[in-house]
Amino acid sequence: MKRFLCLILMPVLLVACNPASALPSRAPSTPAPTVSPTMPPYTQYAQLDKHIGAVYSLKWSPESSRLASGSHDGSLIIWDIKSKAALLTIKTSNAIWSVSWAPDGNQIATAGNGGATIWNTQSGEKVSELPGLLKQAYSITWSPDGKMIAVGCASGQVVVYDSQTRQLIREWTGHIEGGLSTEVIALTWSPDGSLLASGGLDYAVRFWEPASGLAGQVLRADTQQRNDINGLAWSPDGNLLAAAGQDGVSRLWDVQSGQLLIKLGKDSRAWVRGVDWSPDGKKLATGGQDKLVLIWDTTTGADITALEGHASPVWSIAWSPDGKTIATGSGIYNIKGGDTSIRLWHAP
pLDDT-derived band at 175 (thresholds 50, 70, 90) equals confident
Q: Which of 287, 275, 273, 258 is nearest to 319 (CA)?
A: 275
pLDDT score, position 230 = 96
Over residues 87-136, the pLDDT tens digits come to 999 999 999 999 999 999 999 999 998 899 999 999 999 999 998 865 78
Lowest mean pLDDT among 37-41, 238-242, 249-253: 37-41
Are 253 and 219 spatial neighbours (Cβ–Cβ below 8 Å)? yes
Q: What is the DSSP letter of 279?
A: T
Q: How many CB atoms lie within 10 A of CB 152?
A: 31
Percent of the chain's residues with pLDDT above 90: 73
pLDDT score, position 133 = 66
pLDDT score, position 12 = 36
Mean pLDDT of the chain: 88
Does the structure show a pLDDT above 50 at 149?
A: yes
In the sheet with 196-200, reading across from the earlier edge strand, the strands are 184-189, 196-200, 204-209, 214-220
pLDDT-derived band at 39 (thresholds 50, 70, 90) equals confident
pLDDT score, position 14 = 36
CA 81 to each of CA 135, 200, 254, 292, 324: distance values in angstroms, whole numbers, following the listed order: 32, 32, 34, 22, 12
Are 129 and 115 spatial neighbours (Cβ–Cβ below 8 Å)? yes
Residue 279, CB half-sphere, CA atoms under 13 Å: how many? 13
Burial class (CB in 10 A: 0-12, 13-18, 19+), 49: middle
User: Both ends of the chain: CA-CA distance in Å?
Assistant: 49
Over residues 212-226, the pLDDT tens digits come to 988 888 998 877 777
Domain spanning 44-346: which CATH class is it, in words? mainly beta
In the sheet with 303-307, reading across from the earlier edge strand, the strands are 272-277, 283-288, 293-297, 303-307
pTM higher than 0.85 for the full model? yes
pLDDT score, position 177 = 64
CA 1 to each of CA 111, 148, 171, 244: distance values in angstroms, whole numbers, following the listed order: 21, 16, 12, 35
pLDDT-derived band at 4 (thresholds 50, 70, 90) equals very low
Residue 53, CB half-sphere, CA atoms under 13 Å: how many? 22
Residue 169, CB half-sphere, CA atoms under 13 Å: how many? 17
Over residues 249-294, the pLDDT tens digits come to 999 999 999 999 999 998 887 999 999 999 999 999 999 999 999 9
